[in-house]
Amino acid sequence: MTALLSIDGVTKRFGGVAALRAVSFELAEGEILGVIGPNGAGKTTLLNCISGVARPDAGSITFDGHEIGHQRPHRIARLGVGRTFQIVKPFASMTVRENAAVGALFGASRLPLAGAFAAADEVLELVGMADKASQPVVSLTIPDRKRLEVARALATRPRLLLLDEVMAGLNSVEVDEALDMVRAVHRSGVTIVLIEHVMRVIVGVCRRVVVLHFGEMLADGTPDEVLRDPRVIEAYLGEKYAKRLQEAERDG
């Protein structure tokens, strides 16, 4: 089966530092792929290269048969790639509904204004914010701003959605709610690449995980395989995780 997204030998340097080094993997339509690794591993740089925010120095990125590694972000968005950012920056002078409509205006469908508001209503319902559509953005909590960030990306009508730490800073209850949101988005037919540090999120929604370390691919497999890999434990998860894993295996 042809991959929806193909990353082949992607390298990205910033001065003398290689943020990504010959990274390669493929993503099938319908997958939820988790990307994990320590801070500075190259995770956000990878999403930047896929979405056109950064251009790779070597290698190729193919989405749905189109080489997108050197295309501009708006062209990539119109091909069907949406993304969120770690630091959410909604349009502060607008309502929640107006913010979501912006994504629809500039996304793959390039809808007229009435169609953009209809699309905004649809995605706000999907992420659980329909009851806050008329609220000004400045009144939103951090969790709701993160949901709005997802809604705005979804309003572009993506086939592939790149989520960059949408659960960072959330408490346990908020993480559970965000997990339900991600599952709902996936059920709607969207393929997802998810950067996350919360391991129960990775285990809860991902069937496959890629691990980056100093810009290189360290592992690629199921969550169980990856989280038991000694290299991943040493480079990222640490001794406490290894001890908990040993205790769980001994007790169970």
Does residue 49 have a pLDDT over 80? yes
**164, 242: one domain:** yes
**182, 198: one domain:** yes
What residue numbers bound the domain in which 112 lies? 88-157
**141, 218: one domain:** no
Give the span between the Cα atoms of 124 and 133, in whole angstroms.
7
**57, 95: one domain:** no
Q: Which of 21-25, 75-79, 207-211, 246-250 has the lowest mean pLDDT?
A: 246-250
**169, 235: one domain:** yes
Please state the rounded mean pLDDT for residues 228-249: 78
CATH number of domain containing 198: 3.40.50.300
**52, 163: one domain:** yes
Name the H helices within 43-171: 43-51, 73-79, 96-106, 113-126, 142-154
User: Which of 135, 157, 179 lies at the terminal end of a domain, its last residue?
Assistant: 157
Q: How many domains does the chain have?
A: 2
User: Which of 157, 182, 207 lies at the terminal end of a domain, its last residue?
Assistant: 157
pTM given for the model? 0.92
- Exposed, middle or buried, 11 (CB in 10 Å: 0-12/13-18/19+)? middle
**14, 54: one domain:** yes
Does residue 242 have a pLDDT over 90? no
Residue 247's pLDDT is what?
64
**145, 162: one domain:** no
**239, 173: one domain:** yes
**SS3 of 210, please?**
strand
What are the distances in angstroms from CA 10 to CA 6, 82, 241? 10, 20, 31
User: Which of 157, 178, 196 lies at the terminal end of a domain, its last residue?
Assistant: 157
**52, 99: one domain:** no
What digits encode the pLDDT tens for the residues 162-182? Answer: 999 998 888 999 999 999 999
Contact 185, 126 (CB under 8 A): yes
**130, 70: one domain:** no
Contact 10, 22 (CB under 8 A): yes
**151, 190: one domain:** no
Average pLDDT across the chain, whole number: 91
Give the span between the Cα atoms of 134 and 136, in whole angstroms.
7
